[in-house]
Structure 1
């Protein structure tokens, strides 16, 4: 394992920053083309993220961030942790890394052509090897932690659909229980499960879905919103029924409730972004005491409001205060104690006027929504260590990748 990068390698990698800025996505697109033709590794990837370009963009930004911080890669610890958790969820193993390295180096040489001198290629080989070692070691630690936990496991474990419940016309919750009847590892509220699927007519797929329930010893709940162009989400809605079995890896993810904080909590979500937030709120509100909770959520209409009964119930009993924004409604649901309803979208100006400067913030939703909320809080001098976020799919926004 590389102990550190040589000064020459760091100098060469930094000199490549302009080329990465100009050709980074071309390089990562070519890299994924090579990986998807490699039968040893192609089934590990989410094909939809390849089709819409999210994954190549995400990796291009990550490689660029690595080059920019090559002299002090500890600045990228949050990005590295997020990647490691994602890899653990997908059961990425050390033997997969050489395939990725070969594809990346081949893509650099292909795209840069004559500019990819032997010195440049050797530097990137060393830089990739160093980063791979960092990830492999961190992932090993996470795997070992999972194996040691009560109910924990590594690899894929068979779970049965114990029940399904229609939350809205396009959103369904599934209760998952292990086929072996043994306990399950209690997740950190906010984490996700990863699934190894074989979709009839489409083949192998990998997906992550947030756990939407409080931690338990015997089950998990996921909540899936149907996307019209989503192969997997449509399959869950149309075909998955009670009694079906799925291959599931242990809970993973670096977006979870920080138990040590006693500050007020503000949860900000939109659409299906409510799923990890509901796990957090359910976990908190079952305790005898918990910090003040302010829940801010955006949805289109009352009809497609996920977990509406739970949210309204928590507000009615005083467990939370809530502000709900309905972007496509002119008349609002009846106001109840602890819950305010608004027409239109949640705006930066509203958040600025109603935020609690002392709170910890947890944000989940579509990319543009999240970037807007994070920028707004940063403009109000909220420290980044009190802003926690989860973005579904690939982290394709450079602001979120680098935590600028």
Structure 2
């Protein structure tokens, strides 16, 4: 059932209040939610501590209010949220808890301004959005259950191989304990994990799949993060033979090149992780388009998947430009690769763009913002720019560009 005209009018009238107090509302909402032990375990507490999750939700609520007359404009944001929820195994019964906390937070922060009409309007608006998400998530769950090797909920996987990629990056190959097949992921997707960490409790995280699609196993690649509870646990404690709870592949950052356009992959640091899955997929295709990798890292020693990407370049399957931000001298020239000192710049991109290409971008927020802005300034259509938002989508520019 569509929202009533009165509700839409009231929600739009609340936009100035959301602009002024939206973050206060979402912080209060999460405070209420996290008092519930059954709900607290669903959230990434690191994103609570650094404020990313409240910021992301505040922006999402404001975007919803601004587009309340036509929420279809938010379809990409809704799809991204639905995929993340599916990865974390969010279920319909969780939504009433969120609604109660959100409405309570609105009333608490706005005080006397939160009239009965305003509260009723937001109750209806939240219920409408919750139904949209629940329906989409159920579609994804059903698709996972129906797919060969697919599953819903948590499935036990054993670490069958651990490989040190660099000093601070490790890859883990995961094989299902039941010995059955697994659903082939779409290159660029991630796996979500439910972990019990001593001294911390239950944590849920998602990590990009770095291998090409397979019906037998997955590989994830994890870079150690400063004060990262889960990444440090993987590095310090996860060993071959350990069993982990894993949900089916999810995520909307995937390859889609219907016109077989040239491909340009632009990455920084561990942002190459989901891109590696794409590279291994497209380079195995005999009818592949031209493929260009632009990667940014500190030094050759920090370059994740260097052996693999350099081999692809040497075999003529890709061309590459590698930027070393902490190097004054360059490594010996390698076939198919141009090495550079310093960081990738907007001016360099301007001189090396391909207007016919699809661009896939992954890296730190500031890096992606710079790259996407440079491409947009050059007139690259929005539809040809694709990127992954790691963690909570708390950067307004990236969310609106997506």
TM-score by length of 1: 0.99
- Give the alignment partner of residue 344 of structure 1, picking from 332, 335, 342: 342
| Aligned positions of 1:1-400 closer than 5 A | 3-400=1-398
1:133 and 1:261 map into 2 onto residues whose CA distance is 35
Matched residues, number: 402
Matched position secondary structure for 1:332: coil
Report the more deviating stretch, 374-383 or 231-240.
374-383
Give the unaligned 5+ runs of structure 1.
Answer: none
1:380 Cα deviation after fit: 1.1
Q: Deviations over 1:124-170 (max 9, x none)?
A: 00000000000000000000000010000000000000000000000
Q: Which structure 1 residue ranges, 4+ long, deviate > 2 Å from structure 2? A: none
What is the CA deviation profile of residues 336-375 of structure 1, one whole-angstrom value per residue up to 9, with x for unaligned ones?
A: 1110000000111111110111000000000011111111
Is the CA contact (8 Å cut-off) linking 2:257 and 2:358 kept in structure 1? no
- Asked if 1 retains the 8 angstrom alpha-carbon contact of 2:224 and 2:232, the reply is yes
Q: Which sits farther off after the overlay, 122-131 or 35-44?
A: 35-44
- State the Cα distance separating 1:270 from its structure 2 match: 0.4
Distance in 2, Cα, partners of 1:114 & 1:403: 36
Retained in 2: the 8 A contact 1:267–1:363? yes
Q: CA deviation at 1:381?
A: 1.2
Task: Check whether the contact 1:76–1:402 (CA below 8 A) recurs between aligned residues.
Answer: no
Q: Distance in 1 between matches of 2:207 and 2:169?
A: 13
SS at match of 1:331: coil
Supply the distance in 2 between the matched residues of 1:349 and 1:329 (Cα, whole angstroms): 20
Q: Equivalent residue of 1:40, what SS?
A: helix
- Is the CA contact (8 Å cut-off) linking 2:176 and 2:217 kept in structure 1? yes
- Give the C-alpha shift of residue 103 in structure 1: 0.5
| Mapped partners of 1:311, 1:305: distance in 2 | 10
| TM-score, normalising length: structure 2 | 0.99
Per-residue CA deviations over 1:7-66 (Å, capped at 9, x if unaligned) read 110110011111111111111011111111112211000000000000000000000000
Distance 1:229 1:40 in 2: 25
Deviation of the 1:180 alpha carbon = 0.2
In 2, Cα distance between equivalents of 1:53 and 1:328: 30
Cα-Cα RMSD: 0.8
